[in-house]
Structure 1
Amino acid sequence: MKLLCTFLVIGLLFSCKGKDSDLKPIQNQLEEVENEGMEVPIKTSTSTKELIPLENLSDTTFVRLADYSDDFAYELRYASKNNFLKAQVYDCAECYTRVKTAKALLKANEDFKKLSYRIKFFDCYRPNFVQFKMWEIMPNPQYVANPVKGSIHNKGGAVDITLVTFGGEELNMGTDFDFFGKEAHHDNMDMPELVLENRKLLKETMEKHGFWSIRTEWWHYNLRGSSKDKVANFKWDCK
């Protein structure tokens, strides 16, 4: 019966044309199967001694980033109400990416560490059922990607980040995360010199390691080639 339900849900997804009226019923049905690990198994261990090296994993496997480095900082906003939605859409805070994304992030972070900075994450992989939750709150493609198509966050290839000092102080990027105004645009040069320098450092280093940016969001980076990956929907365990 579970298998039949899963096929029915998938069929509804493909038949959906993206109308707002179609999305809520699909979200209800996705919630029924969200624990079935629809796409990709997680191949990490609770013990760092038992971790499979990234080099031994397929590039499209999902991993928990904290299992592979203690050198990142986290403030996963959608696991709280401190975000533009004013709603908690993750049950708990975790940062997963695909292996190829994790490899690139580790290399980028090594460059930042040479300057006494490190990457801080606001969002990482986002299950597709969470994308439906966000769309239900804010059904506007200017702010939230339509979950029927999915976003690169749903594919494990996008991250929302900033830089912090080793002491945890955020570099001045001019606006807060998820500020949707011209002040957050990369091509807005009408900002203090320090802000422009900090954004340039973040952008050029991330691009050096295979990421590309979105013009309107200084914090958002996609790994090149990730748009071809499949939308995923697995839900991590909250410990």
Structure 2
Amino acid sequence: MKFNLLSLFFFLSLAVCAQNKPATVQKLVVVNSYNQYLASIKTNPDNELVEIKKAIPNIKLDIRYATKNNFMQQVMYKQARAFARRPVVDALKKIQKELNKKGYGLKIFDGYRPYAITVAFYKKASDKNFVANPAKGSKHNRGCAVDLTLINLKTGKELTMPTPYDSFSAAAAAKYENVSPEAKKNRDFLIGLLGKYKMNVLENEWWHYDFSGWKNYDLMDIPFERL
């Protein structure tokens, strides 16, 4: 009995020590060297941050962070441009083509976002559930997330959605039910179509879509002016 009690005490002591041991923290890698970025493209052309408007001329842009019309209420981007990794833009091309046949199109609010902007968002946002934690970075920082909506090609007007872009309300959630039939139909159509091309909606933001292969790409902190 004494031996068993001593053994139990020994193993419990080891368990406590293991719990108190600091966990190994993996250092966040953020690419801020333009030359390093160029080198990565030579290694893998998919690493290129392609300008969406140049690749898809009839796509519409409404880059809110290049204006004061955003939740930060200040200009965050010096240029009203949108970028994404090459496979993401290839997917958007196919989506735009399919939408155009139905009389619709995409409007882009945001694409690649430099890491420094994510840090600024997190500091100011009143609801941290709607902004990425800089400790992990954002899929926007990887060039693998796009914020967008649908427009009518003839009028250029946005289709009815549950909330405006960048709303912090509960109705912004991708599966929120208490919305008008028209808004639900448009939202669910958008989610389904983008999912078909491996662009998956973020649970609490109907407008935010992540490319399924985002883990293959580094976090970036290169401003638009260098791209």
Shorter-chain TM range is 0.7 to 0.9
Picking from 66, 75, 94, the partner of 1:88 is 75
The aligned counterpart of 1:179 is 167
Conserved 8 A contact 1:39-1:233: no
**Per-residue deviation at 1:238?**
8.3
Aligned positions of 1:110-125 closer than 5 A: 110-125=97-112
d(CA) in 2 for partners of 1:238, 1:70: 21
d(CA) in 2 for partners of 1:175, 1:193: 13
Distance change >3 Å, CA 221–CA 75, structure 1 → 2: same
Same amino acid, percent of matched pairs: 29
Distance change >3 Å, CA 42–CA 66, structure 1 → 2: farther
1:79 and 2:92 matched = no
Larger CA Rg, structure 1 vs 2: 2
Distance change >3 Å, CA 191–CA 87, structure 1 → 2: same
1:65 and 2:89 matched = no
d(CA) in 2 for partners of 1:38, 1:213: 32
Corresponding pairs, count: 198
Distance change >3 Å, CA 91–CA 42, structure 1 → 2: farther
The aligned counterpart of 2:178 is 190
**1:143-168: CA deviations, max 9, x gaps?**
22122321100000000000111121
Letter paired with 1:178: D
Picking from 36, 40, 62, the partner of 2:37 is 40
**Per-residue deviation at 1:135?**
2.2
SS in 1 for 2:220: coil
Q: Which moved more, 1:142-151 or 1:92-101?
A: 142-151
SS in 2 for 1:59: helix
d(CA) in 1 for partners of 2:98, 2:36: 33
The aligned counterpart of 1:234 is 222
Aligned positions of 1:105-184 closer than 5 A: 105-138=92-125, 141-166=128-153, 167-184=155-172
d(CA) in 2 for partners of 1:141, 1:59: 31
Conserved 8 A contact 1:96-1:156: yes
Structure 1 residue ranges (4+ consecutive) displaced by more than 3 angstroms after TM superposition: none
Gaps of 5+ in 2: 1-25
Gaps of 5+ in 1: 1-12, 16-29, 44-56
The aligned counterpart of 1:14 is 27
Picking from 195, 200, 209, the partner of 2:197 is 209
**1:59-80: CA deviations, max 9, x gaps?**
1211111111212101011111
SS in 2 for 1:199: helix
Distance change >3 Å, CA 38–CA 89, structure 1 → 2: farther
**Per-residue deviation at 1:173?**
0.3
Conserved 8 A contact 2:127-2:168: no
**1:187-230: CA deviations, max 9, x gaps?**
22221111111011101110011111112111000010113321
